[in-house]
Amino acid sequence: MKALVSRAVVLSAVLLAFPAWAQDVELEETSLPSSLASTVETIFPQCWYCTYLDVHTFDVTWPQEGEIDHEQAAWSAVYYFGSQMYDAGSSISQATFNSRLANVNWEELPPEIRSSVAPGDTSWTASESSWWYMTAPDYCEYGYFYVLVFHDARKVVTVEMNKAHEC
């Protein structure tokens, strides 16, 4: 009986961690276009403090038509990865997303995402989620998770980057 109760508690915690509507937008991962994969590989060493860069592309399979809610799509991406470090994030402007990546010398990535995943779709929205923790005295690790939703093309792109340096 104790095992059943503890399983129910764990299941409840998992269900509370992700909003009930998280599956209102269903995603199907697609392979990265070759030009985007090449850009990701090329730009990674340009960031001095970066330890990780991962980009994924998705088709929106549900709803099959109509508006895509950014927050629901972002939660679906978080749920897809089973991440406990990120949430749907805060809404950021297109310019802010471009600036954040330019700050780590990855200014080539935003235009490459747009041109290879959703050419001509200017209706995209972005969100950012992050975490950080101290791993040693005066040394911290940081993680950033961006979700881009291309509303007209019905595509979602995630960009995850981790950094480590003095804090």
Per residue in 74-93, pLDDT tens? 999 999 999 889 999 999 99
Would you say residue 3 lies in a domain? no
Would you say residue 7 lies in a domain? no
Q: Are 149 and 73 in contact (CB under 8 A)?
A: yes
Residue with tokens 């040394």: 139
Does the pLDDT value for residue 13 go beyond 60?
A: no
Count of domains for the chain? 1
Does the pLDDT value for residue 7 go beyond 80?
A: no
- Indicate which CATH number applies to the domain containing 128: 3.40.1000
Would you say residue 55 lies in a domain? yes
Q: Are 59 and 154 in contact (CB under 8 A)?
A: yes
Q: Are 136 and 20 in contact (CB under 8 A)?
A: no
Rounded to two decimals, the pTM is: 0.84
Q: Are 74 and 66 in contact (CB under 8 A)?
A: no
Q: pLDDT digits over 109-158, tens only?
A: 999 999 999 999 999 999 999 999 999 999 999 999 999 999 999 999 99
Residue with tokens 């679906």: 76
Would you say residue 16 lies in a domain? no
Would you say residue 108 lies in a domain? yes
Q: Are 65 and 100 in contact (CB under 8 A)?
A: no
Q: Which range of residues forms the domain containing residue 101?
A: 23-166
Q: What phi, psi does 77 have (nearest 5°)?
A: -65, -45
Q: pLDDT digits over 41-55, tens only?
A: 999 999 989 999 999
